[in-house]
Structure 1
């Protein structure tokens, strides 16, 4: 019950406060990972495996240590008067630590706020402002995108990151508690840092990219299922989201992003994918869904659906965690 309560409280903190503006622990982990990379980097898969194991193992170990700490294993038993008080103190400690870890690893509220801000700038005609905001959502080249291109890029990022930033950490929190939360965020952060197919990281980043694929395999499909069921929230039809998933998700180069983007496209009744311009070049992505290309109004609908999916995922995670306690 403590894990379930902690997940819900942490989700509530994220909904209320968003990401910490200063001293974010994930940013601190990223800075530490950069220093570790200076020591571990070699142009080989083996070096990348070592890098991944050291950093993810450290994050998981921290979670295990925190769980043991609140369980009273590192504190003298005399600090509690009796067994009932000890159980109560342990439960409260588990809730607090789980809530803090959940708040730390979630990014759904900031994602939704950024999506709404992007829509505001596009609706007001502030294209330069929208272009300046896009890098906080994805790695597209904003200078070559018009208003509709910016809306599409933001919408696709919201679809993918609804799963990565909320559903997946909640899933792993329900499965493995605080160690699961911290280990997942480490995996996802390392993929964002080194999981690229370029000259420096094509071999070194292989382990990070593949580990992230595995870690998101089930959560992405949970996210897709919730998106499909909640399509009516934005005037869509579950049948359309399901059809887009079954028909189009496998076309995407990512085994997980394809599910998130295809179900979002189907729920919104738009077409995602196509010509996609990054700073390193242009890719021709497969199209997902049916209908017109997304407009600014569709970006707002995507934000509403994302928030609904996040709430449903938090409730589902709490329910899944509850029987384990």
Structure 2
């Protein structure tokens, strides 16, 4: 039964990510990124149609590959479970996100600010030049929050809904957004389609992530209050709810003006507590781990086989009716 094998595959893929993290060599997502970079050289133009074609080719091809895998394996439960597990492990970034958070926490605790500035690029595209410890801590906390939704909750939910094509297609779209979905002069037009597609695909997962954040932190009411009040201040329709939820769950104030080198962005003020400090990085990573586990559980429970209706009494009644009509 595809529902059962899909649920088992998601569980096994989640477990593999927890134990092994991302493959250090020959990572399929890295290979996709290299392919996307090569295609960009051929298709790039400062126009939305060129960017839309670029996005359609890459996301469409990846999704079709996922559909083929799903179709070939769906009648073979063991193969279907293995394919779903492999796809889940491939696209899930929870353990790698946690490792980056731990690395940043260690560097900040050791007061190695130059190394922490260099390392921040592993989490986000923010310009770290001149950022001090607490500013780096805020950037890390906000990046963990946003990536918990993008790299953890969303792929699990899309995997639960659509299986292998949902896992691969979502990850392709999210990777392109990370590569070209910027408001910089170069990508303002070319990256528009990738950014908008990623926005659409994350509309529901971001809000599920915000909800699970309050549950995982045991601060549902406070998280919901900050989410409703402050999320609209954020320029992103999806990062806003997630970062506001983390602010409420952690009792912190997030947001502010961020520099991305060629442009700056005002992220609003989210939350009521103090600004993040170095000590809050590990707290945020622990919360992200609980949120991801809750998302995996949600995806798996949603795939429970539906109970079949017992139709035997109805069939017996129909049989009696037929006999009555035949012999009456």
TM-score where L is the length of structure 1? 0.90
Q: 2:40 aligns with which of 37, 45, 49?
A: 37
Q: 1:132 aligns with which of 104, 118, 140?
A: 118
Question: What is aligned with 2:271?
Answer: 289
Distance 1:282 1:199 in 2: 12
- Aligned: 1:151 with 2:137: yes
Does the aligned pair in 1 maintain the 2:184–2:262 contact within 8 Å?
no
Q: 2:220 aligns with which of 216, 238, 246?
A: 238
Q: 1:98 aligns with which of 59, 75, 84?
A: 84
- Aligned: 1:62 with 2:65: yes
Q: 2:19 aligns with which of 7, 16, 21?
A: 16
Distance 1:302 1:228 in 2: 13
**SS of equivalent to 1:230:** helix
| Residues 79-129 of structure 1: CA deviation (Å, up to 9, x unaligned) | xxxxxxxx6xx1000000000000000101110111112111111222122
Instruction: Out of 48-57 and 98-107, give the one that drifted further.
Output: 48-57
Distance 1:139 1:114 in 2: 14
- Aligned: 1:265 with 2:247: yes
| Residues 190-239 of structure 1: CA deviation (Å, up to 9, x unaligned) | 1111111222221111111110000000000000000011223xxxx322
Does the aligned pair in 2 maintain the 1:2–1:92 contact within 8 Å?
yes
- Aligned: 1:205 with 2:208: no
**SS of equivalent to 1:142:** coil
| Residues 19-77 of structure 1: CA deviation (Å, up to 9, x unaligned) | 11111100100111112222322222112111111111100111111122324xxxxxx
Distance 2:188 2:258 in 1: 20
1:143 Cα deviation (Å)? 2.4
User: Alignment RMSD, CA only?
Assistant: 1.4
**SS of equivalent to 2:302:** helix
1:166-315 alignment, distance < 5 Å:
166-232=152-218, 237-315=219-297
**SS of equivalent to 2:274:** coil
Does the aligned pair in 2 maintain the 1:3–1:322 contact within 8 Å?
no
1:280 Cα deviation (Å)? 2.1
Instruction: Out of 285-294 and 33-42, give the one that drifted further.
Output: 33-42
Question: What is aligned with 2:304?
Answer: 322
**SS of equivalent to 1:140:** coil
Does the aligned pair in 2 maintain the 1:187–1:208 contact within 8 Å?
yes
1:324 Cα deviation (Å)? 7.2
Does the aligned pair in 1 maintain the 2:214–2:224 contact within 8 Å?
yes
Does the aligned pair in 1 maintain the 2:152–2:292 contact within 8 Å?
yes
Q: Which runs of 5+ in 1 are unaligned?
A: 72-86
| Residues 117-166 of structure 1: CA deviation (Å, up to 9, x unaligned) | 21111112221221221110111222211100110000000000000001
1:10 Cα deviation (Å)? 0.2
Q: Which runs of 5+ in 2 are unaligned?
A: 308-328
Distance 1:60 1:305 in 2: 31
Does the aligned pair in 2 maintain the 1:196–1:202 contact within 8 Å?
yes
TM-score where L is the length of structure 2? 0.90
| Residues 245-279 of structure 1: CA deviation (Å, up to 9, x unaligned) | 00000110000000110000001111001132222
Q: Name which one, 1 or 2, has greater alpha-carbon Rg.
A: 2
